[in-house]
């Protein structure tokens, strides 16, 4: 990571599907929540590493719109872990100049979680070192429905001409408005799917799937993902020769 060349391949935006907590716990004959608690420690570690490496945006999928279908005890346990995490991390976010942002429908989260979330978002508002997007009650399709609904309203009340709807207009109506699209999308835990994550934004993300379960995804595993990314040629539809300038 020392050379300028390596630095230039650090992605601006990394998105992670943090999967495998439950299986990690089951392997240890412990309840699933034990895995989620260990997962919160991994979040602390990876946020710190990402910040040190100069990644501008880190998006972590913490709770999907589909995860409400889990047993009530697991959902409330996850909400408790989230609340603890936010309470314990606010100081370090401020110290490390990390701006917290939430992507997802916050209104459906428990009131106490919303309260600490809103407080943390407000207090870190002027931090510029890195943006940490926590995807909470997030679903890519729900996000698009919400965006399209708002675009529809704007068209009806005359503030938007339907002919002017462009990719940029759609991007600006998503939770990630104003942010670059993810360059690298990592999924831990061995599954090879997107599970409704960043469906619009990830259209040209480099995908990296690893068997490593989230609680075991430490710095070395993260660096391996970044190293894989740095060796890829992103062509965006062009030929390899065009991109390399050969
Ligand atoms: C990811 O781990 C965390 C959340 C979805 C909240 P899982 O809980 O999905 O872990 P596995 O996939 O069951 O191992
Ligand atoms: C995706 O993991 C959601 C999060 C990591 C928050 P899941 O474990 O919920 O995904 P599926 O159900 O296996 O697709
Ligand atoms: Mg899972």
pLDDT given for residue 7 in this prediction? 52
Question: What residues does ligand 1 touch, defined as CB less than 6 Å away?
Answer: 18-23, 63, 67, 78, 189
Pocket test for ligand 2, best of 68, 77, 195 (most atoms within 8 A of CB): 195
Distances 169 to 7, 15, 202 between C-alpha atoms, Å: 31, 22, 16
Residue pair 187/16 in contact by the 8 Å Cβ criterion: yes
Q: Is 183 an annotated catalytic residue?
A: no
pLDDT at 246: 79
Global pTM?
Answer: 0.96
Per-residue pLDDT reduced to its tens digit, 78-124: 999 999 999 999 999 999 999 999 999 999 999 999 999 999 999 99
From CA 124, how far away is CA 88, in angstroms rounded? 14
pLDDT above 80 for 5: no
The answer on pLDDT for 66 being more than 70 is: yes
CATH fold of the domain at 8-139+180-230:
Undecaprenyl pyrophosphate synthetase (3.40.1180)
């Amino acid at each position: 990571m020392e050379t300028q060349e390596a630095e230039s391949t650090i992605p601006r935006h990394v998105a992670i599907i943090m999967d495998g907590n439950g299986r990690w716990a089951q392997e240890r004959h412990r309840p699933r929540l034990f895995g989620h608690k260990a997962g919160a420690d991994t979040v602390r570690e990876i946020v710190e590493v990402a910040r040190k490496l100069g990644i501008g945006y880190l998006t972590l999928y913490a709770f999907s719109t589909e995860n409400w279908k889990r047993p009530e005890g697991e959902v409330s346990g996850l909400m408790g872990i989230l609340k603890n995490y936010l309470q314990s991390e606010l100081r370090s976010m401020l110290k490390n100049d990390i701006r917290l942002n939430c992507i997802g429908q916050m209104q459906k989260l428990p009131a106490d979680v919303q309260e600490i979330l809103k407080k943390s978002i407000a207090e870190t508002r002027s931090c510029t070192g890195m943006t940490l997007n926590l995807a909470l009650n997030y679903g890519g399709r729900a996000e698009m429905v919400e965006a399209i609904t708002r675009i529809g309203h704007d068209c009806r009340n005359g503030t938007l001409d339907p002919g002017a709807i462009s990719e940029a207009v759609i991007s600006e109506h998503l939770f990630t408005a104003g942010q670059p699209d993810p360059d690298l999308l990592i999924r831990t835990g061995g599954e090879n799917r997107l599970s409704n994550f960043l469906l619009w934004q990830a259209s040209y993300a480099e995908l990296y799937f690893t068997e490593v379960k989230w609680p075991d995804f430490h710095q070395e595993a993260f660096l391996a993902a970044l190293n894989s990314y740095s060796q890829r040629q992103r062509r965006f539809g062009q030929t390899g020769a065009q991109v390399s300038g050969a």
